[in-house]
Amino acid sequence: KNQVEQSPQSLIILEGKNCTLQCNYTVSPFSNLRWYKQDTGRGPVSLTIMTFSENTKSNGRYTATLDADTKQSSLHITASQLSDSASYICVVSTGYNQGGKLIFGQGTELSVKP
């Protein structure tokens, strides 16, 4: 069964600290893995997308890693800011040539406190 599991479910950190969110998946065939940030009351916004051959990708203070062998990904946030408070969703695409069927994780709710 295609599944994406994220941990932790929620996380509270102090402003300026780093944190790492985890994503494990059992999706086949694998096409790509995406991390989305969803602010409260808004639609998800893409942070990174990685294909099978990529093992790291950065977007500003966000760095995603992918280990296709162990089927694990992480999202590392450096020097957190209050605006990083959001839900972070890991999404794996099974792949088809026009967008990919997406399997969504339940998300990690991050709260950055001053």
Partner 1 sequence: DAGVIQSPRHEVTEMGQEVTLRCKPISGHNSLFWYRQTMMRGLELLIYFNNNVPIDDSGMPEDRFSAKMPNASFSTLKIQPSEPRDSAVYFCASGGRHEQYFGPGTRLTVT
Give the residues lining the site for partner 1 (CB under 8 A): 32, 41-46, 49, 89, 97-99, 101-102, 104-107
For residue 5, the minimal CB distance to partner 1 (Å) is 12
* 60 or 99: CB nearest partner 1: 99
For residue 66, the minimal CB distance to partner 1 (Å) is 15
* 80 or 108: CB nearest partner 1: 108
Burial class of 11 by CB neighbour count within 10 A (0 to 12, 13 to 18, 19+):
middle
- Residue among 26, 69, 31, 36 nearest 50 (CA): 31
For residue 34, the minimal CB distance to partner 1 (Å) is 8
* 24 or 78: CB nearest partner 1: 24
Instruction: Round to whole Å and give the CA distance between 106 and 4.
Output: 8
Instruction: Round to whole Å and give the CA distance between 62 and 16.
Output: 13
> In the numeric block, which tokens belong to residue 72?
């694990």
Is residue 11 within 8 Å of 109, Cβ to Cβ?
yes
* 23 or 80: CB nearest partner 1: 23
For residue 114, the minimal CB distance to partner 1 (Å) is 26
